[in-house]
Amino acid sequence: MARLVERGLRRTVGVPGLFATAYGNVGSSIYYALGLVAAHALGLTPVVFMLAGLLFALTAKTYAEGASMFPEAGGSSSFARHAFNESASFFAGWALTLDYIITIAISGFFVPHYLGAFFPALKHGPGDVIVGVLVIVVLAGLNIRGLGESAKLNLVLACVDLATQVALVIVGAVLVLDPSLLVSQVHLGTVPSWSEVIFALSVAMVAYTGIETVSNMAEEAKDPGRDVPKAVNLVLVAVLGVYAGISVVALSALPVVQHGAVYTTQLGTTYHDDPVLGIVSAFGLHGWLQTAVTSYVGLLAATILFIATNAGLIGISRLSWSLSEHRQLPGIFARLHPRYRTPWFTIVLFSSLACLLLIPGKTDFLGNLYSFGAMLSFTTAHVSIVALRIKQPDIERPYRIGWNVHYKGALIPIPAVLGAIGTFVAWCSVLALHTEARTVGMGWMVIGCIGYIVYRRRSGLDLTSRHKIEHAQAPEGFVPLAYLSALVPIFGGDVSGGAIRRAAKLLGEGAEILCVYVVTIPTQLPLDAPMSTEQQRGLGVLEAARIAGRKSGLKVHTRLVTTREPGEALVQEAVRAEADLVYLATTHAPPSEQGFGPIARQLLEKRPCWVVVESPAASRNGSRQRLAA
């Protein structure tokens, strides 16, 4: 038998999962960004998207290097902490908090507009605002109860979404693409004017909402140094290709037209809030086919945006937890619900702010405000990566940005330098051109910084030093390393030892059994969030199981595992230990796991060895089920 040599947290997400989550967040932006940008960029919309895409590419590379070095929640806030100090970290984190609030608001607001394919009253106020607020409230409630993200569902939806967007480009190229029309509707300096182009450029970064997902997911990657850069490159290719294709098709389907001295496109007027449905409507389909395609696109877009709203809530939960753990926000931001063990205060507070921003129904304002916070965070991220190259040139960098120049013994990444300049200029343009965003954005940053200063002073802390909250560690004695031939997951308060004895009967006398208690971390918390209450409960249950096994003459070893994916963690444990059998008794499991729940299905799907699933009904009937690998 193989000896277990690894402990601690389980990282379970590979390249497909990283890509699916990142693309699901970034790719969802097309459903609202197209209308926001086209209203100002007109015929230059594809060019504006590509210019913004260049900044996105530079920023994505910066996040790939930073996340591979520091695979932890926080993104630009984490990079700034390692490169500078806690003040810089908080500044970036507070700007990023604003972005997550906007992501929640804008994604939730556009859900009803695409459901308008079924219910036209949702395409305008007050129906869109009411349903948008309802989406946020429902998701906030579900997140407090511990709603997570399904990696498989994300992967499926990301693939379906990408395939649908590619199909729209192909069909549009066949039915409506007209290169001469694309050229003729652009008159540089006039249609659109230079001021409108600059205005559109400052808005266009909303198209790439979700790049921070790379950092949040890096903490769960199996191999951050290898998997994160690969996922980033895949997302870059997919997103830039889709935006280029769809924007070109859109301007052919709904071209710029003149009304007196005014030039407009229906992408920025009639279909401002559901531009992809506008493209479908211009394909010239008829009858049931038009209805079917419109319904499909509307339902898919609404689903993707619903998931993007949920991702925003999860992202801001992890970020605020990280800030609170580093004594940058008061402890209440890391306080967990006594029953569901989720950061309820953070979810309630920030979802309420998102609802307030959504109520006016001004999507242009939301897009501009997002650009304000995003450009600050991105600039900080770029500068931090450059500073780390100078201050810590020898730190391990599993992924390193290319195209470097030597400067005082350090390799300076030119892409990060260009990215910092570009995002800072874009932020300055937001300040100059968007009055509402300037007012609210600067107010947000000033309030946050004042609050940070007051909190740190009252806590007796200076403004720049690190002061992370320390948590008690689980006793080492309860996590021994052992040889074993059977693995028995323990749920809840199952201390009877019945499952252990039944597993031993299948193995014969002298069997060595590993009892594993899995502590599941809610998706609303970072992967390294302390779960001391759950861990102590698990240790007590494991000790009772060990004693029960010893009384029965069995050699029982125990192990406590903390993870996001319990099914995958058990598969990994069985593989590492070369177990002959996994005996899964679900009598004491949560309701969702009784019978053939997610854990049982994953074990049976992966089948690392013989798997026996004992359900409550099977126990009453005296029956068992065994499946061979």
Residue entry with tokens 């949560």: 590
Per-residue confidence (pLDDT) for residue 151, from 0 to 100: 63
| SS3 call for 513 | strand
Q: Under 8 Å CB-to-CB from 477, ≥6 apart: which residues?
A: none
| Residue 384 scores a pLDDT above 80 | yes
* Cα–Cα distance for residue pair 100/311, rounded to 1 Å: 9
Lookup: tokens for 86:
């806690």
Residues 400 and 491 in one domain: no
* Cα–Cα distance for residue pair 86/238, rounded to 1 Å: 35
| Residue 365 scores a pLDDT above 60 | yes
Q: Is residue 3 part of a domain?
A: no
Residues 441 and 486 in one domain: no
pLDDT tier at 252, thresholds 50, 70, 90: very high
* Cα–Cα distance for residue pair 519/535, rounded to 1 Å: 7
CATH code at position 177: 1.20.1740.10
CATH code at position 585: 3.40.50.620
pLDDT tier at 621, thresholds 50, 70, 90: very low
How many structural domains does the chain have? 2
For residue range 15-61, what is the model confidence (pLDDT) as tens digits? Answer: 787 788 788 778 888 999 999 999 999 999 999 999 988 988 899 89
Task: Tell me: cis bond preceding 126? Omega within 30 of 0 counts.
Answer: yes
| Residue 478 scores a pLDDT above 60 | no
Q: Is residue 1 part of a domain?
A: no
Per-residue confidence (pLDDT) for residue 605, from 0 to 100: 83
* C-alpha closest to that of 279 among 366, 148, 173, 155: 173
Per-residue confidence (pLDDT) for residue 596, from 0 to 100: 73
Residues 386 and 494 in one domain: no
Residues 157 and 224 in one domain: yes
* Cα–Cα distance for residue pair 233/12, rounded to 1 Å: 20
Alpha-carbon dihedral sign for residues 559, 564, 569, 570 = positive
Residues 586 and 481 in one domain: yes
Per-residue confidence (pLDDT) for residue 416, from 0 to 100: 95
Per-residue confidence (pLDDT) for residue 122, from 0 to 100: 93
Q: Is residue 556 part of a domain?
A: yes
At CA 41, angle to CA 38 and CA 44, rounded to 5?
105
Region 377-386: mean pLDDT is 94
Region 525-548: mean pLDDT is 82
Query: Which one of 142-156, 313-327, 475-489 scores highest in mean pLDDT?
Result: 313-327
| Residue 75 scores a pLDDT above 90 | no
pLDDT tier at 626, thresholds 50, 70, 90: very low
* Amino acid symbol at 153: L
Helices marked H in 27-150 — which ranges?
30-41, 45-69, 76-83, 86-115, 127-144
pLDDT tier at 512, thresholds 50, 70, 90: confident
| Residue 10 scores a pLDDT above 80 | no
Contact 185, 251 (CB under 8 A): yes
Residues 484 and 448 in one domain: no
pLDDT tier at 537, thresholds 50, 70, 90: confident
For the chain, what is the mean pLDDT?
A: 84
Please give the residue range of the domain that contains residue 552: 476-627
pLDDT tier at 208, thresholds 50, 70, 90: confident
Region 386-398: mean pLDDT is 91
Q: Is residue 41 part of a domain?
A: yes
* Cα–Cα distance for residue pair 601/127, rounded to 1 Å: 41
Lowest mean per-residue pLDDT among 311-325, 446-460, 561-575, 580-594: 580-594
Residues 438 and 577 in one domain: no
Per-residue confidence (pLDDT) for residue 31, from 0 to 100: 92
Contact 9, 194 (CB under 8 A): no
| SS3 call for 541 | helix
Lookup: tokens for 81:
């902490």
Residues 298 and 340 in one domain: yes
Per-residue confidence (pLDDT) for residue 443, from 0 to 100: 95
Lookup: tokens for 283:
């394909």
Alpha-carbon dihedral sign for residues 14, 20, 21, 22 = positive
* Cα–Cα distance for residue pair 424/414, rounded to 1 Å: 15
For residues 450 and 483, the model is more confident at 450
Lowest mean per-residue pLDDT among 1-15, 57-71, 168-182, 455-469: 1-15
Q: Is residue 10 part of a domain?
A: no
Per-residue confidence (pLDDT) for residue 337, from 0 to 100: 85
Region 80-91: mean pLDDT is 94
* C-alpha closest to that of 207 among 55, 359, 408: 55
| Residue 484 scores a pLDDT above 80 | no
For residues 287 and 590, the model is more confident at 287
For residues 154 and 394, the model is more confident at 394
Residues 453 and 512 in one domain: no
| SS3 call for 160 | helix
Q: Is residue 450 part of a domain?
A: yes
Domain end point (choices 402, 429, 458): 458
Region 386-402: mean pLDDT is 91
Domain end point (choices 431, 458, 485): 458
Q: Under 8 Å CB-to-CB from 438, ≥6 apart: which residues?
A: 372, 430, 431
* Cα–Cα distance for residue pair 628/604, rounded to 1 Å: 9
Q: Is residue 2 part of a domain?
A: no
* Amino acid symbol at 212: E
DSSP secondary structure letter of residue 334: G
Region 539-563: mean pLDDT is 83
For residue range 134-189, what is the model confidence (pLDDT) as tens digits? Answer: 999 999 998 898 766 666 777 788 889 889 999 999 999 999 999 999 988 988 88
Residues 118 and 205 in one domain: yes
Q: Is residue 577 part of a domain?
A: yes
Length of the chain equals 629
For strands 404-407 and 410-413, give the pairing. Answer: antiparallel
Contact 403, 376 (CB under 8 A): no
Beta bridge partner(s), residue 257: 264
| Residue 481 scores a pLDDT above 50 | no
Residues 393 and 480 in one domain: no
* C-alpha closest to that of 145 among 390, 340, 295, 276: 340
Q: Where are the beta strands (DSSP E) in 357-484?
A: 404-407, 410-413
pLDDT tier at 628, thresholds 50, 70, 90: very low
Residues 380 and 508 in one domain: no
For residue range 213-240, what is the model confidence (pLDDT) as tens digits? Answer: 766 667 777 777 788 888 888 888 888 8
